[in-house]
Amino acid sequence: MVTAAATFGRSGSHDFILLRASAIVMVLYTLFMAGFFLSTPDVTYEVWSGLFASIWMKVFTMLALSAVLIHGWIGIWQVSTDYVKAAGLRAFIQLVFSVGLIAVWLTGLFVLWGV
Ligand code: HEM
């Protein structure tokens, strides 16, 4: 079986599931953050760092950042293979997004580590 080296999952259907599952996690995190800001009138430094001090918030945030990594990785592969016909430019776009997504994930990990 021929598989594309730039995809994330083992197969197209695996990528399909990963894209949907990661979308659900991102939507849940977005709803949670919207709820937090709506229910917290005064978001001070203490309130904000207190929120991220708990282990469940760290885990939830790392799950959301992993979902961004997986979703963005698969998503940009799908969009670029559909719309960017020049192979060199497509590889460059995928490289920029992949490195950027990994940088976001690592930044989140180190920031959370310090809270
Ligand atoms: C680099 C950024 C992103 C890229 C390249 C991207 C790409 C994609 C692609 C290609 C699809 C599949 C569309 C289809 O098959 O019809 C998709 C679906 C989706 N994305 Fe994204 N996306 C990105 C960011 C986000 C973010 C930040 C969110 C939410 C906070 C999000 C939420 C969704 C949802 C809800 C779906 C629909 C899933 C479904 O059909 O069940 N995406 N995205």
pLDDT by residue, tens only, the chain of 115 residues: 555 667 788 889 999 999 999 999 999 999 999 999 999 999 999 999 999 999 999 999 999 999 999 999 999 999 999 999 999 999 999 999 999 999 999 999 999 988 8
Structure pTM?
0.90
Q: Which two tokens stand for residue 41?
A: 């009138």
Q: Looking at the domain that runs over 12-114, which CATH code has it been given?
A: 1.20.1300.10
Tokens of 112: 């959370």
Q: Which of 15, 16, 18, 19 to mutate to test the pocket of ligand 1 (most atoms within 8 A of CB)?
A: 19
Gap between the Cα atoms of 13 and 53, Å rounded: 37
Residue 71, annotated as binding a ligand: yes
Determine whether 71 is exposed, middle or buried from the number of CB atoms within 10 Å of its CB (0-12, 13-18, 19+).
buried
